[in-house]
Structure 1
Amino acid sequence: MGRHSSRAAELSERLAANAHAVCRHYLPAGRREGRYWMVGDVAGTPGRSLYVRLFETERGTIGNWVDAATGEHGDLVDLIRLNQRHGRLSDTIIEAERFLSLPPSAPDDDTTAAVFTKPARAGSPIAAKRLFAASKPLSGSLAATYLRSRSITRASHLDALRFHPRCYYRANDDDVPGTPGAFPALIAAVTDNEGAQTGTHRTWLNPTGSEKAKVASPRRAMGNILGHAVRFGQADDVLIAGEGIETILSLREVLPTMPMAAATSSAHLAAILFPPTLHRLYVARDRDAAGDAAFGILTDRAQAAGIELMSLMPELGDFNDDLRDHGASVLGQRVCLLLHEHDRTRFSNDSD
């Protein structure tokens, strides 16, 4: 990582800690609505197309933003760069340091070393990487037991998935008093198109592994999630993308060599970054309004990028419902009929 990139990552964390102030300063025509700052675009035009996350939840990290009209997205460093129309990252770093009233970067700062020797901010990409590194292999774990209870049997040796026996859980106002501070958890690495880890997704489980933990938000992501995904296989010209990890793992039961990506939420699915060689994108949809909205945004983005978009719609609520209700054989037959003829030849015989 270059010196400017390292400094930008550090500033991104500091800006996120002051996200509301950043929005008021650079996007004064916007306004707070719930957990977001809403405005028209990165230039600060009045409107509701661009939203900046002001609070960390299971669906995203503070400071991440997306413009639903254009598909643009990023962190607060990216927002300042576009807002101020900077041509160089160094100019954005100077501006961010000015806003935060920090001393300017020294040319010989070893910022990378500083980032990894200091305590990581909760929810940061560094904390996300540390959690994944501290987790154990999935095979034979309670998380593997949980996935089998969901009729998912092909996940044990996937590099993107791990298990943590006692993963910290921060209770919120919707949790009952006395909610434990840790549970076993299915841990998933969120990566960019090049395979670099940017975040971690957690699914907390009950002590038997028979179901998710009975907490208000049993699924949460940390780190830099926007545009990235939990990936299974390296995508080239074809990719299946969907919201949930279990949705995608259900499709892997019948198409195990098809490259797939779980974006972790409908909003992140709408903003997922396309691999540069992608020609055809299948969208594994959920039968709900949020899934429909994500598909609508992806339709516009794919058309602009010259990518063929194809819909994969479950019979029930999602593809894990289909897998558990109908079984892998029936699901495989149905999904293969939805594939492009060329992909049906390439991938439909892999599940035997």
Structure 2
Amino acid sequence: MTGSASELARRLGDHAETVCREYLSNGHRAGNHWIVGDVRNTRGRSMHVRLKPNPKGPAGKWVDEATSEFGDLLDVIRESCGLIEFRDVADEARRFLALPRPQVQDPGAQRQPAAARGSPDAARRLFAMSQPIADTLAERYLAGRGIMLGPRERYLRFHPGCYYRDLRTGEMQALPALIAAVTDLDGRITGLQRTYLSPGLGPNGKVGKAQLADPRRSLGSLFGNAIWLGLEPNAPVAVMAAGEGFETMASLSTVMPALPVAAATSANHLAGLSFPPDCRRLYIAADADAAGRHGIERLSQRAGEAGILAMVLRPQLGDFNDDLRHLGPASLAAWLWDQLAQDDAGLLPPSG
């Protein structure tokens, strides 16, 4: 049956070199092996894929000598494309092999318990498959927007080939993506947001978002949780800031790294954000337009009911990332100075 894992792996093994050239394009052939950095298509020499069967085993089996990982070409497709569920891996394998999709999937084809589509478990698996952002397109994307975050932001990752499905046509493609984990106040990952990036540099020499109708997608349990920056799990938080967009809140974190900030990903999620138990003052980041007014008003109301003083921070331009990019960090810091409570002036680093 063309739907079974073993049959798909065998068929892929019959075309092992072609599979490697497609999904492990940063490698090269050396004798009977394809040499690459790892199963996620990183440049290097530690992973060896057998291209032809020999006494040691069938074609398509691989081992990473640096990590002791091993597997078959289905694993290569899963990891290099950023897929989570087997049905998606199998669909991609069938697409590559030009095989029809089965009417009924073989229940024995599932090689490991599948994470439900869009579930927190699926988010945690994708996050684990990603890598730190240092020296990646994700870091260059953020730098191009003026965003500079410290190495302690361990909930930001990069995936070189995260799968994107066009909801209108059903087409799939693998694109680089900034992966931002959505967590609860204990630091447990409940979801994530993927920002799909252009594989190359734009005319301005910077990395931009992919040319997609919706280059940003979220999954998992988002309500009440957020993309947190500058927050240590279970640490007391007396003062914090919250807003909708990741770039908006990351811009505030760039100029006020001592202030924990939460990006709720949408106006509805902002309205339902959970507060740290010790919070006494909440700064809410507003955009220049009125699209998120409901979220701000509802969050302010909930904060007041919890005994938390809510104060709105307003940008000079469209949002705080516009301020950071076009006016610079010093101007943004000076603008924020006049909006902070006197007790919180120390959140801004000394000028000059």
CA distance in 1, matches of 2:142, 2:350: 21
Post-superposition offset of 1:349: 1.9
Q: Which residue is equivalent to 1:288?
A: 289
CA distance in 2, matches of 1:125, 1:145: 28
Change (3 A) 1:255 1:274: same
CA distance in 1, matches of 2:294, 2:125: 34
Correspondent of 2:128 among 121, 124, 133: 133
Correspondent of 2:182 among 178, 190, 200: 190
TM-score after normalising by structure 1? 0.63
CA deviation vs aligned residue, 1:36-64 (integer Å, no higher than 9, x gap): xxxxxxxxxxxxxxxxxxxxxxxxxxxxx
Is the 1:231–1:261 contact (alpha carbons within 8 Å) kept by the matching residues of 2?
Answer: yes
Q: Secondary structure at the match of 2:259?
A: coil
Q: Which residue is equivalent to 2:274?
A: 273
Q: Which residue is equivalent to 1:164?
A: 159
Is the 1:138–1:157 contact (alpha carbons within 8 Å) kept by the matching residues of 2?
Answer: no
Q: Which blocks of at least 5 consecutive residues in structure 1 are unaligned?
A: 1-115
294-303 vs 124-133, which moves further? 294-303
Q: Give 1 or 2 for the bigger CA radius of gyration.
A: 2
CA distance in 2, matches of 1:187, 1:321: 22
Post-superposition offset of 1:155: 4.9
Post-superposition offset of 1:117: 4.8
Q: Secondary structure at the match of 2:277?
A: coil
Is the 1:254–1:351 contact (alpha carbons within 8 Å) kept by the matching residues of 2?
Answer: no
Post-superposition offset of 1:180: 5.0
Higher relative contact order (CA 8 A, sep 6+): 1
The alignment-based identity, stated in percent, is 47
Is the 1:255–1:351 contact (alpha carbons within 8 Å) kept by the matching residues of 2?
Answer: no
The residue type equivalent to 2:245 in the other structure is G
CA distance in 2, matches of 1:148, 1:156: 14
Change (3 A) 1:351 1:142: farther
The residue type equivalent to 1:183 in the other structure is L
CA distance in 1, matches of 2:170, 2:127: 27
Post-superposition offset of 1:287: 2.0
116-125 vs 335-344, which moves further? 116-125
Q: Which residue is equivalent to 2:86?
A: none
Change (3 A) 1:158 1:301: same
The residue type equivalent to 1:215 in the other structure is L
Is the 1:155–1:249 contact (alpha carbons within 8 Å) kept by the matching residues of 2?
Answer: no
Correspondent of 1:215 among 212, 215, 221: 212
Q: Which residue is equivalent to 2:349?
A: 349
CA distance in 2, matches of 1:192, 1:178: 32
CA distance in 1, matches of 2:182, 2:276: 15
Q: Secondary structure at the match of 1:154?
A: coil
Q: Secondary structure at the match of 2:222?
A: coil
The residue type equivalent to 1:347 in the other structure is L
Change (3 A) 1:315 1:199: same
Post-superposition offset of 1:289: 2.4
CA deviation vs aligned residue, 1:225-247 (integer Å, no higher than 9, x gap): 11100111236111111111111
Correspondent of 1:203 among 184, 195, 203: 195
Is the 2:165–2:171 contact (alpha carbons within 8 Å) kept by the matching residues of 1?
Answer: no
1:23-38 to structure 2, matched below 5 A, reads none
The residue type equivalent to 2:323 in the other structure is D
Q: Which residue is equivalent to 2:48?
A: none
Is the 1:144–1:155 contact (alpha carbons within 8 Å) kept by the matching residues of 2?
Answer: no
Post-superposition offset of 1:288: 2.2
1:11-26 to structure 2, matched below 5 A, reads none
CA deviation vs aligned residue, 1:9-42 (integer Å, no higher than 9, x gap): xxxxxxxxxxxxxxxxxxxxxxxxxxxxxxxxxx
Q: Which residue is equivalent to 2:257?
A: 256
Matching of residue 312 in structure 1 with residue 313 in structure 2: yes
CA distance in 1, matches of 2:279, 2:270: 16
Change (3 A) 1:198 1:178: closer
CA distance in 1, matches of 2:350, 2:250: 15
1:229-240 to structure 2, matched below 5 A, reads 229-234=226-231, 236-240=237-241
Post-superposition offset of 1:187: 0.2
CA deviation vs aligned residue, 1:324-347 (integer Å, no higher than 9, x gap): 110011001111221111111x31
CA distance in 2, matches of 1:160, 1:298: 24
Q: Secondary structure at the match of 2:159?
A: strand
Change (3 A) 1:215 1:179: farther
TM-score after normalising by structure 2? 0.63
